Chains A and B, each alone.
Chain A
Amino acid sequence: MNLNIDAEKQNTFDAIVVGTGISGGWAAKELTEKGLKTLVLERGRDVKHQVDYPTMMKDPWELPHAGQLSPEELKLYPVQSRTYWVNQGNKHWWVNDLENPYTEVKPFDWIRGYHVGGRSITWGKQTYRLSPMDFEANAKEGIAVDWPIRYQDLAPWYDYVESYIGVSGQAEGLPQVPDGKFLPPMELNCVEEVFRDKVAEKFGRKITIGRVAHLTASLPHDPSRGICQSRNLCDRGCPYGAYFSSNASTLPAAQRTGNMTLRPHSIVHSIIYDEKKGKAVGVRVLDAETKQETEFFANIIFLNASTLGSTFILLNSTSSRFPNGLGNASDQLGRNLMDHQYRTGAEAEVEGFDDKYYIGRRPNGIYIPRFRNIGNDKRTDYIRGYGYQGSGSRESWTRGVAEMSFGEELKNSLTIPGKWKIGITGFGECLPYAENRVTLNKDRKDVYGLPTLSIDAEWKENEKAMRKDMRVTAAEMLEASGFKNVNMYDAPNNIGLGIHEMGTARMGKDPKTSVLNKWNQVHEAPNVFVTDGAAMTSSACQNPSLTYMALTARAADYAVREMKKGNL
């Protein structure tokens, strides 16, 4: 008995954070900096900044097979390779699909990595605020449920997060993508400047440089992070810490407080709910290496295991009080799965500028903020809208195979950069639909014997109508800018491929129709906070990571205040 009490004491913390990705890192930093002894659990292996980026300094000739994977290696990544991004430089950042199965009732690309830092190592770094319009849209249009917060609730937390992580961007004064705390913007190249000016002149639409979590100036509060060197090898891990990741930024900050206990190889599969106390008291952890099960306890639990990871844990946390999953009285847990649709747009050739080039490989592109269904622009075929991301560049040596020449002529011709090209792809909002959902699948187990997820989701009419417009309008803008050989494209794009899955434990005002309240607390278990993408009530069309970080910092602040008041 004493032994048990000792063990329980050893395993008891002020707070537990589940997950170390973009939001988990923030929960860890905020809670430890506020003095809470915090256990941070990560299901994958440890990844130390710089130390554990094995390919970060490799030159092209140091990677086998010019970076390509062998058929044997690809067999490990049947889902992850749907991105076409898995290569010798980054293969260690993607899950082994054979060990991490799920069921696609309809095609759904679940792209992820299980290791400390999660997808904060491989994310696209595009960093945009949601706007007042985005938080109001559901209520105005009668879609799903209203957000329980407004832009003003989150604005100071956007400020706070941007200032800490470092966001490069250009202030534009656009209400649909509010300006933030920006480091100097990256430069446009010659043809992007032309495109910007033409689109402004002919359409009155703004093209701006992408807002990205890359340092273009040093951060006085975090001298360990350096300025972007334009290598564009971000997906290997950055030796300079120039882009924001948990590994380079928030986890070291949490470590410095002395309050963090980071435990890798720790698969949280459920939350312990104490029926007598009427509250969640801890989590159950399966050690991925030893297969041993351990319980850990805390006053506050932050779920940051990724949208579907956190949803899985809640669905798998059943008790007589919560037979269908913790906090699921509303039956909304697992529903309203959203993503962003992309990989459709247009590209073109740009004549001239033969004597112009650029220096560096900018890990960023241009951004065209949403203009649809704003002001006088009213679509009859769909609601909401999309933004575009893209870039211009000169053709490189890869064009060589299509050249009519070979031999010395080919070799010489490839030493001169080829034609300028420019392309844009839309990123479109997805509406929340109750029937787009994930459920617990107890018939199919993973390698640890745990249940898995079944995912049943698809794009619907609003998304399909928007998608058509995304490519047609892209072509229209390129044509109007005077570019040649404009070519529309529409590449296969299962839901999930946007890697912006969100919405399966949505925030709302009413416990009957939502899982989380306005502070990201589970309505029915208020010491459990979910602050990753699962919380999203609508998807907007902006890249969402900044919003997850801001929601996390805001919720952590609230949690600690409430705890100190004795309310949690």
Chain B
Amino acid sequence: MNRRDALQRAALVLGYAVTGPALTGVLQGCKATPELPFKPVFFSEDQARLIAALSEIIIPKTNTPGAIEAGVPGFIDIMLKEIYTKEDQDKFLNGLDEFDADARETYGDSFSSCTTEQQKAFVKKHHDAVFSGKVEGASTGWWNAGGGGEKPFMLKVKELTILGFFTSEPGATQVLQYNPVPGPFKGCVPLADVGKTWAT
């Protein structure tokens, strides 16, 4: 294991937000091959790296866990394998390929090998495009799921990331709040008495 790999591993354990800037300096762009935070059952290793990196950009580690620490990449992998139909799997992978091809064109390397700052900028470009109606299948401004068109890849990953994250134990209990047994319902209380969004 070379120094870069060691740093990258540390980054995955500790999370991008903590070590991101350090990595950016050391790596100087898009040449790292990050280690996988999970063993994929559906994705190839390269695809899994991309999904892991992308989910962590969507919900990063802050003072609370991010997508990778919450197991979101593995969740997405299993959802693709067991919940998606063959047709939807193919569409998802096509979207993933196009996304990464654009990253290679833009930065000369796979999305997962880019710096965190580059990944953020790249996600912003794709995310903004969805919300400004510049992606085929998206309605203007906001994706209308009832509209019958195909959801853009960016939104599919965002949706899966949010679903996996907030139904995970870290997402539900550390980022939001979770009370499995609330007791008698109180209908109208100050938000300050509760604090954060209920996870369920």
Contacts and interface: CB of A to CB of B under 8 A. Distances in A.
A70 B60 CA distance: 29
B79 A416 contact: no
Interface in A150-166: none
A408 B162 CA distance: 13
B83 A406 contact: no
Contacts of A407: 57-60, 120, 123
Interface in A204-247: 216, 227-232
Given A65-B82, A396-B197, A410-B58, A402 B183 contact: no
Contacts of A229: 181-184
B182 A360 contact: yes
Contacts of B167: 60-61, 66-67
Contacts of A458: none
Contacts of B192: 355
B131 interface: yes
Contact of A360 (B85, B158, B186, B193): B186
Contacts of B178: 59
Interface string A312-328: 00000000000000000
Contacts of A188: 187-188
In this complex, the interface size class of chain A, counting residues with CB under 8 Å from chain B, is: 35 or more
Contacts of B187: 186-190, 192-193, 358, 362
Nearest to B177: A415
Interface in A408-429: 408, 410-412, 414-418
Contacts of A67: 167
A402 B142 contact: yes
Interface centre among B78, B123, B183 (most CB of A within 10 A): B183
Contact of B200 (A357, A361, A414): A361
B196 interface: yes
B186 A397 contact: no
A92 B52 CA distance: 34
Contact of A408 (B60, B168, B180): B60
A55 B164 CA distance: 19
Contacts of A3: none
A189 B190 CA distance: 11
Interface in A85-140: none
B1 interface: no
Contacts of B190: 355-357
B185 A60 contact: no
Interface string A255-277: 00000000000000000000000
A415 B142 contact: no
B92 to A, nearest CB: 14
A188 B188 CA distance: 8
B172 interface: yes
Interface in A356-372: 356-362
Contact of A65 (B79, B158, B188): B79
Interface string B50-71: 0000000111101010100000
A213 to B, nearest CB: 16
A299 interface: no
Interface centre among B64, B78, B158, B198 (most CB of A within 10 A): B198
Interface string A177-208: 00000000011111011000000000000000
Nearest to A228: B184
A356 B187 CA distance: 9
Contacts of A228: 184-185
Nearest to B127: A406
Nearest to A58: B180
Contacts of A68: 79, 83
Interface in B80-132: 82-83, 85, 120, 123-124, 127, 131
A214 to B, nearest CB: 10
Contacts of A400: 158, 162, 166
A308 B14 CA distance: 59
Contacts of B166: 397, 400, 414
B184 A230 contact: yes
Given A61-B167, A65-B83, A411-B59, A406 B184 contact: no
A78 to B, nearest CB: 15
Given A190-B187, A360-B183, A415 B176 contact: yes
Contacts of B199: 60, 397
Contact of A189 (B131, B188, B194): B188
A401 interface: yes
A354 interface: yes
Contacts of B153: none
Contact of B185 (A61, A354, A362): A362
B100 to A, nearest CB: 18
Contacts of A64: 78, 82
30 contacts: A60-B167, A64-B82, A65-B78, A65-B79, A65-B82, A65-B83, A71-B85, A186-B185, A187-B187, A216-B184, A230-B184, A231-B181, A356-B189, A356-B190, A358-B189, A359-B186, A360-B179, A360-B184, A361-B185, A361-B198, A400-B162, A401-B143, A401-B155, A401-B159, A401-B162, A407-B60, A411-B62, A414-B162, A416-B196, A417-B197
Closest 9 CB pairs of A and B: A187-B187, A360-B182, A360-B185, A190-B188, A189-B187, A362-B185, A359-B186, A60-B167, A230-B182
Given A186-B185, A359-B185, A361-B200, 20 more contacts: A65-B78, A65-B83, A66-B79, A66-B163, A66-B167, A69-B83, A70-B82, A187-B186, A231-B180, A357-B193, A358-B187, A358-B194, A401-B162, A407-B123, A410-B59, A412-B62, A414-B197, A415-B197, A417-B196, A417-B197
